[in-house]
Amino acid sequence: MNVLAIGCHPDDLEIACSGTLRKYVEQGADVYMCHIANGDQGHVVIEPEPLAAMRAEEARRAAMFLGAKEIFSIGVSDMQVNSHDQAQIDAVADVVRFTRPDVIITHNDADYMQDHVEASHLATNGAFMSGLPHRSVNYPAFQSFIPTFFMDTLAGVDFNPSHYVDISGQIEMKLQALSMHESQVKWMLEHDDIDFVDMVRTCSRYRGYQCGVAYAEAFRPYNVYPRHSTKHLLP
């Protein structure tokens, strides 16, 4: 099984679905991670160019720790993610063609910031584009209608899940992977007085309460024609 997780910023997947991604790996799936934005605006002191390089290395280390087979970056500057930009759509479509996923996980299509929403649309639009053979340049066309799940919003705000994944056995790896994004964890603590790792643990615990396990991650399917499957795609 091939799994493609498409997040916006380099730590978004660790926050919302890395327990599930690790569980996929443990079950033998090939997991691929992709970031649309490079995170270059995610600090008030570190300049954009060195920050982007720093965050790329943090993301690489976290992905390898989780057991991802490969990690991709579209390399868009923060607040420049645009689901109507043909170059960005084509870049995501190429990732889909290369990874040939059985399922895609991405941001909810309504979220607290523009980049996340645009990344969600890029994931679904890029998947559709991947099946158009006359748009394919670097890799053969794959398919247009890949089952897709939206992952939880930050702190679960205004997200009504229909699917849960028990990550009780993966919670510590999830938090360790998140901790590898040192620039963000340290910045959030110093500038916003938020212990980000503790917040993510608490949110995972809250979702666990909802479904009767210790820790869980929450999802909902992208309910459009014909993105459904008879297969049980979440681990």
CA distances from 223 to 3, 109, 226 (A): 18, 11, 8
Q: What percentage of the chain exceeds 90 in pLDDT?
A: 90
Is there a contact between 35 and 78 (Cβ–Cβ < 8 Å)? no
- pLDDT tens for each residue of 24-62: 999 999 999 999 999 999 888 899 999 999 999 999 999
Helix, strand or coil, per DSSP, at residue 220? strand
At 190, is the pLDDT very low, low, confident or very high (cuts 50, 70, 90)? Answer: confident
Torsion region of 158: left, alpha or beta (phi above 0 gives left; psi -120 to 50 gives alpha): left
Please state the pTM of the whole predicted model.
0.97
- pLDDT tens for each residue of 105-126: 999 999 999 999 999 999 999 9
pLDDT number for residue 43: 86
At 84, is the pLDDT very low, low, confident or very high (cuts 50, 70, 90)? Answer: very high
| Residue 122: closest CA among 47, 72, 167 | 72
Contacts of 223 (CB under 8 A, 6+ apart): none
Lowest mean pLDDT among 2-6, 57-61, 143-147, 202-206: 143-147
Domains of the chain listed by start with CATH number: 2-221 (3.40.50.10320)
The Cα–Cα gap between 70 and 33 comes to 7
Average pLDDT, the chain: 96
pLDDT at 138 over 90: no
Across the range 188-217, mean pLDDT stands at: 95
